[in-house]
């Protein structure tokens, strides 16, 4: 089973051409990020999110819901494969907030995308054998530092996309595979977002990572996280704390008081119709 492309495009408000070009990829990624919110409500209410494409279509496309990285990037990967792109799935380690030297489990999913017909980074500097001609795509990170456009997989190349600056750097690892680290520029600082290697992640391994994130008692996703990127700003709900970030960087913070206020907020500002049992927890 594959996702119904017409229904998916209607969900994200996209009506561009379907040829698998770089311009199409850029447009689709941006429309997806703006169209489908990041949320972990299923985990909070005690359900392991399904990665079956039928279930993902029912939830993220037909339903007024969003999802987290495994759901979002699994859905987007199927869409891109139907359009004719080459897709490789990588599992990564989130580094935001990690202590120096801390090794976290592979609990994030990103995509390596190849544009067919040579419509890749032809004008980019030569990358060599370890990543040139491929783009990093991630529609499931959710934060104000997340990618809004494909990033050429060329180490050290700084790319600005829709007001956000990113680059990939290579680290020499103890093992045979170099570690790629996605970084975002914030002011004068490069912040590490996620680290990954170029060994393709088979679907069973992605399923195990999804199960771990949603069931481990110390998983950060046992607390409510909801985020939505808009053309003019960003909304982030962490437990009971709602943070609004305007396009000019202005930040306002408020508290959500009670389950009724939470439900109203999710429906009116995030576009989510939550299942029963969702409560704001600090």
Residue 16, helix vs strand vs coil: coil
H/E stretch holding 136 reads strand 135-137
- For 172, list phi and psi in degrees, rounded to 5: -80, 125
Q: Quick check: 128 pLDDT over 70? A: no
Residue from 252, 248, 241, 250 nearest 282 by CA: 241
Give me the mean pLDDT over the 189-206 stretch: 96
pLDDT, residue 129, reads 37
Q: How confident is the model at residue 131 (pLDDT cuts 50, 70, 90)?
A: very low
Q: How confident is the model at residue 281 (pLDDT cuts 50, 70, 90)?
A: low
Alpha carbon distance 97, 265 (integer Å) = 27
Would you put residue 191 in left (φ > 0), alpha (ψ -120 to 50) or beta?
Answer: beta
Give me the percent of the chain exceeding a pLDDT of 70. Answer: 92
Residue 102, helix vs strand vs coil: coil
Residue that the structure tokens 């699994």 belong to: 74
Q: Quick check: 123 pLDDT over 70? A: no
Residue 196, helix vs strand vs coil: strand
Residue 162, helix vs strand vs coil: coil
Q: How confident is the model at residue 139 (pLDDT cuts 50, 70, 90)?
A: very high
Residue from 275, 279, 266, 277 nearest 235 by CA: 266
Residue from 60, 108, 114 nearest 85 by CA: 114
Q: Quick check: 16 pLDDT over 80? A: yes
Residue from 81, 148, 157 nearest 112 by CA: 81
CB 105 within 8 A of CB 93: yes
Global pTM reads 0.92
CB 47 within 8 A of CB 55: no
pLDDT, residue 127, reads 40
pLDDT, residue 130, reads 41
Residue that the structure tokens 């997989």 belong to: 153
Per-residue pLDDT of 232-261, as tens digits, reads 999 999 999 999 999 888 999 999 998 899
Residue 42, helix vs strand vs coil: helix
Q: How confident is the model at residue 132 (pLDDT cuts 50, 70, 90)?
A: very low
CB neighbour burial string for 223-259, b if at least 16 within 10 angstroms, e if fewer: ebbbbbbeeebbbbbeebebeebeeeeeeeeeebeee
Secondary structure letter of residue 67 according to DSSP: B
Q: What amino acid positions are annotated as catalytic residues?
A: 69, 108, 138
Per-residue pLDDT of 155-183, as tens digits, reads 999 999 888 999 999 997 667 789 999 99
């Amino acid at each position: 089973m594959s996702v119904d492309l017409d229904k998916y495009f209607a969900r994200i408000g996209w009506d561009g051409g379907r040829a698998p070009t770089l311009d199409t990829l850029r447009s689709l990624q941006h429309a997806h990020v703006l169209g489908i919110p990041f949320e972990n409500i299923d985990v909070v209410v005690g359900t392991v999110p399904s990665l079956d494409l039928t279930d993902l279509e029912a939830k993220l496309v037909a339903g007024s819901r969003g999802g987290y990285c495994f759901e979002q990037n699994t859905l987007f990967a199927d869409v891109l494969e139907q359009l004719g792109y080459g897709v490789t799935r990588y599992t990564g380690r989130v580094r935001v907030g990690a202590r120096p030297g801390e090794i976290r489990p592979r609990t994030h999913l990103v995509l390596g995308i190849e544009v067919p017909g040579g419509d890749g980074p032809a004008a980019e500097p030569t990358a060599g054998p370890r990543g040139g001609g491929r783009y990093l795509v991630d529609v499931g990170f959710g934060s104000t530092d997340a990618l809004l456009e494909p990033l050429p997989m060329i180490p050290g190349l700084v790319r600005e996309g829709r007001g956000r600056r990113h680059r990939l750097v290579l680290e020499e690892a103890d093992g045979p595979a170099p570690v790629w680290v996605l970084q975002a520029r914030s002011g004068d600082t490069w912040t590490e977002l996620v680290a990954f290697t170029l060994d393709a992640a088979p679907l069973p391994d992605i399923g195990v990572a999804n199960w771990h994130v949603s069931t481990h008692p110390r998983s950060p996703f046992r607390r409510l996280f909801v985020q939505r990127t808009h053309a003019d700003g960003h909304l982030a709900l962490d437990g009971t704390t709602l943070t609004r970030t305007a396009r000019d960087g202005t930040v306002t913070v408020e508290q959500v008081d009670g389950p009724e206020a939470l439900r109203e907020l999710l429906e009116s500002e995030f576009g989510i119709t939550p299942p029963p049992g969702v409560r704001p927890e600090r």
